[in-house]
Structure 1
């Protein structure tokens, strides 16, 4: 139902859509009733009586020859330049389950019917016989349906065994977050878990960071003791973090500073159901972001608050109120295009949509409050979860964190699922 990896930055204009699907071995029930050769392609009739066919162009077939001379059998990387000559001298049906093409340079390529069906790109009525990889389902939650007991794994188990690492990533995918218990209170604990997934994601903050709430100079408002409103981390960066790990290292005489999480997918689902016009604006009108640091570069980007999957449901979120910049000419143009209205109506509707989003985000309906304590890491999907901190009134707290990119953690989960299936 819900897809996570529609991660296009969408700068400005309509986004390219790309669903993140469950890894699966497609086992097509192939039923070939005939293969015809044309001047530039072959036509495979899967069920001629039902008008189910696929066309495969010779340029495409030569470029995608699956033999081990052209493509590494494990790495799936091309080994030769397959674009030079796509002129066949002979096309034959190899046995009952493959097509063989002999090219002018003498190379022979074999394409099984299963392979052709799985990779069909120009076809008619193909979905009647071509299995579709199912989308992953996630568990949406709000204040009243927050997971109980919470998703948890043990730190030492995650380091010791790939099955436990996979369980951690699957919980983060399903619920948006997971606690990692029995974690030694030091920054290197975060690093060890993150490196089990893949390389640490670098940013202005470095590959790993820590901060103390107490005596310190403030380089960013999040380093202060002030209340931090629900947000996703670093939406001003082109490659915003995909996965975050937060860990309290020390806590003494603390008053305030409670942690907050909001399931952005659940909130977006609510908006889509009850205020579809507002949801449409927030998923089709890009908002400027700006972030700057002392002695560093300026970071500028346009972001859509909600990304959506092929069913129109939320599949990603980018939002940080403190870095949001004024709606501009591009924002207004996009809003007018969504609503088919004039400037005045478009600007008014945009502020209604953002205001309603804020009301939901900062209210109680979708808010989960909890205490983040030493010895318990919090891993969260930064493209789904919005997190926050209540005002830190007094005392001392030391916090550290690391990031993995979205591609790293989703790719690791898929690889482990395939290997441990």
Structure 2
């Protein structure tokens, strides 16, 4: 840290970091984000005061700096608070520039079929024993939106042990665990070997389950490979080819509906491509089987909307977007259901295919990953 300067009669402060990078912080922001024990609970870090307890006329009366800390005296209460310089550098908001709609976090890497042999994968027993290996696996899920796990037990309910590594099962009308059991040449057409287009699950829920686990118990049929597609890469390609199409799919809501079980009628209204207010790409919902009538698009935009919808569907179906693998008993994969679409290829011949599935949520996974990463920083 080089210098500190009070700005605008105490409404803000300017810090010049080594290398000449200048960042400004408002007095109200600094006071609201104080980390002292009277502002934040020492045990859990939760804020102890409301914004209404901070004067609307809060000003910086004095400020000094050294290599590690910024010391600020506020008026009108005369409180002196010390801030960690590194924390301020990490949380600086000055210099944030607007970006084009559809940008993705630096924590994310989009991909296509070129991912090839780099499919993220870990061993069940290893991630179960060591936080380091678990952290690496969770990091890959955050980065790529999916990952495999091998070497697991071949037993009913084993997928619950996978979820327990980072969080909790999200129970739905399908139960805690649902069966994906399909036999070739079945005596019931419900158990068919037909392929399925890549899709996100349960788009008719709000919120959707943000993670899905599929665990293999039997897979002796010919075919039946699992396939995943990065919905974010598909959205990026659509944006590059047709900015208007991308805008339409992200601006207008699609509708999804499910009434397939007695006593259940689920509906949602969300865009197929979901952006944050600042344009960050945060979600894709795509499931032709569960789509209901689109009624939120104006007449003059409907033709172009369907053109973009069709192109998004074509991109998802293209082989150069798809990563394919066949699970063996004791193997599973997990997908970020807000990003990665999954499918299966059709199968034929003798044999059977039995997977168990369940849902979970990303907040537990990201929480566990954050804890592991913090432990690594302290090590």
| Fold shared by both chains (TM-score > 0.5) | yes
Q: Deviations over 1:277-324 (max 9, x none)?
A: 222222222101111232233111112222347896754211111010
Deviations 1:90-127 (A, max 9, x none): 965365431133766xx945143736676666x6x688
Distance 1:101 1:359, change over 3 A: closer
1:278 aligns to what? 245
Deviation at 1:35, TM superposition (A): 5.7
- What displacement does 1:275 show? 2.5
Shift of 1:71: 1.0
Structure 1 counterpart of 2:264: 297
1:249 has 2:217 as partner: yes
- Other-structure match for 1:166: 135
Say if 2:369 is the partner of 1:413: yes
CA contact (8 A) 1:281 1:353 kept: yes
- Contact 2:179–2:354 (CA<8 Å) still a contact in 1? yes
The structural deviation recorded for 1:396 is: 2.4
Instruction: Verify: 1:359 aligned to 2:325, yes or no.
Output: no
TM-score, length basis structure 2: 0.81
Match status 1:157 vs 2:126:
yes
1:202 aligns with 2:158: no
Partner of 2:207: 239
Change (3 A) 1:116 1:88: farther
2:357 corresponds, among 401, 410, 418, to 401
CA pair 320-71 structure 1, distance change in 2 beyond 3 A:
same
Which residue of 2 is the match for residue 325 of structure 1? 292
Equivalent residue for 1:370, pick from 325, 328, 343: 325
Structure 1, gaps ≥5 residues long: 1-28, 128-133, 333-342
Give the superposition deviation at 1:260: 2.0
Q: Does the Cα contact within 8 Å between 1:257 and 1:392 map onto a contact in 2?
A: yes
Relative distance call for 1:90 and 1:149 in structure 2 (3 A) is closer
Contact 1:269–1:313 at 8 Å: present in 2 too?
no
Asked if the contact 1:287/1:303 (under 8 Å) is kept, the reply is: yes
Q: 1:82 to 1:67 in 2, by over 3 A?
A: farther
1:381-406 CA-to-partner distances (Å, cap 9, x unmatched) read 22222111223446422211222212
3-state SS of paired residue (2:274): strand
- Can you list the C-alpha shifts for 1:129-161, whole angstroms capped at 9, x where unaligned? xxxxx822415122xx13314322110001111
In the alignment, which residue of structure 1 is the partner of 2:101? none
Aligned CA distance change for structure 1 residues 126 and 289 (closer, same or farther; 3 Å): closer
Q: Which runs of 5+ in 2 are unaligned?
A: 98-104
Corresponding residue to 2:228 among 261, 274, 281? 261
User: Which residue, out of 95, 101, 112, partners 2:83?
Assistant: 112
Alignment match, 1:26: none
Larger mean Cα displacement after TM superposition, 390-399 or 153-162: 390-399
Q: Distance in 1 between matches of 2:56 and 2:290?
A: 55
Whether contact under 8 Å (2:13, 2:24) holds in the other structure is: yes
Deviation at 1:414, TM superposition (A): 2.4
Tell whether the 8 Å contact from 1:170 to 1:413 is kept in structure 2 after alignment: yes
Question: How far is the alpha carbon of 1:366 from its aligned partner?
Answer: 1.7
Report the CA distance shift for 1:94/1:237 in structure 2 as closer, same or farther (over 3 A).
same
Residues 33 and 51 (structure 1), Cα distance of their counterparts in 2 relative to 1, 3 Å cut: same
**Alpha-carbon distance change, 80 to 365 in structure 1, aligned in 2, over 3 angstroms:** closer
Instruction: Report the CA distance shift for 1:326/1:419 in structure 2 as closer, same or farther (over 3 A).
Output: same
Q: Could you say if the C-alpha distance between residues 92 and 365 of structure 1 is closer, same or farther in structure 2, counting changes exceeding 3 Å?
A: closer
CA contact (8 A) 2:5 2:14 kept: yes
1:33-182 matched pairs, under 5 angstroms: 33-34=5-6, 42-46=11-15, 53-57=24-28, 63-80=32-49, 83-84=52-53, 86=55, 92-93=61-62, 96=65, 97-101=70-74, 108-112=79-83, 114=85, 135-142=106-113, 145-182=114-151
User: Partner of 2:153: helix, strand, or coil?
Assistant: coil
CA contact (8 A) 1:316 1:383 kept: yes
1:229-282 deviation digits (Å, cap 9, x = unpaired): 110111111121222221111234x24423222222222222222222222222
Q: How far apart in 2 are the matches of 1:236 and 1:189?
A: 27
Instruction: State the 1:82 CA deviation.
Output: 6.3
